[in-house]
Homo-oligomer: A and B are copies of this chain.
Amino acid sequence: MPSVEFITSLQNPRVKQLVKLRDRRPRDEAGVFLVEGYRQIVRALDKGIPLTELYLCPEWYLGDQGNEPALIARAQAAGSHVFQLTKDAFAKVAYRERPDGLLAVAPQWRRNLADLDAQLGQNPARAPFLLVVEAIEKPGNLGTILRSADAAGVDALIICDPVTDLFNPNVVRASTGVVFSVPVIIATSEEVRPWLARRHIRAVATTPSATDLYTATDLCGPLAIVMGSEQYGLSEFWLREADARVLIPMAGQADSLNVAMATIITLFEAVRQRG
């Protein structure tokens, strides 16, 4: 392996910085985020994510998941700086419960509605299929929502008024790498609403206060499914501004479906109708 730098001290500035990157403010200040683990790093490379730094520790390799030397060579070929850490130093920088000796740093990105305009413009014949979520709080839910968006084949996920950082290590992990591929747009609700109207995209919001069943509502054509937050549900703004409000019928206790589950159900009904 060419040019691998060795780090042995727990006081090394890079070690300290990696620990800091678990928190949002230092992450945003540095404009980067953490990608930990063999599978996640492979997926990032597969999606062409530039990994500026790759930290490794062979003593932590699990030994049964793949070819670490090939992964390292691939990262180096793509321009990664590679650092090898002592076992103790790696234990300090790893955020997973069971580290596997691989941790990378990648630059953050931001996409806005203008980027989405450009993306949709590349395929003007296709009716846009978007998912809009309000202020999701739990990293696990955001990760699950990203996975659902990927599986359903939406063009983009629009996060209005975000509470959870997309680059939170638990979002990256829970998304199983989908965060590297599904386009995610960050905007305010007040920006998103007129943008949808301008593009003639129907906003269909899911809420227990609706009377029309989600299965009895047309989900074909240019569509944005709108989901509320975990704690507060759909905001007054979207309750009022949506073009249609739909209900998912529930047989059991009122809170059996959380927002991630309701999102999957609605997305796949849209997939069915759009056939």
Contacts and interface: CB of A to CB of B under 8 A. Distances in A.
B182 A252 contact: yes
Interface string A262-274: 0011001101100
A256 B215 contact: no
A78 interface: no
Contacts of A43: 253
Given A215-B275, A256-B178, A261-B144, A150 B251 contact: yes
Given A144-B261, A264-B261, A272 B271 contact: no
Nearest to A175: B256
Q: How many copies of this kind of chain does the complex include?
A: 2
A249 interface: yes
A181 interface: yes
A56 B199 CA distance: 57
Contacts of A253: 43, 150, 176-178, 181
Most buried by B among A215, A250, A265: A265
Nearest to A152: B251
B177 A252 contact: no
A46 to B, nearest CB: 9
Interface in A138-184: 144, 147-148, 150-153, 176-178, 181-182
A75 to B, nearest CB: 20
Interface string A194-221: 0000000000000000000001000000
A150 B255 CA distance: 10
A257 interface: yes
Contacts of A150: 251-253, 256
7 contacts: A148-B256, A150-B253, A151-B252, A151-B256, A153-B252, A178-B252, A261-B264
Given A151-B251, A249-B271, 9 more contacts: A147-B256, A147-B258, A152-B251, A153-B252, A215-B272, A264-B264, A264-B265, A268-B269, A269-B272
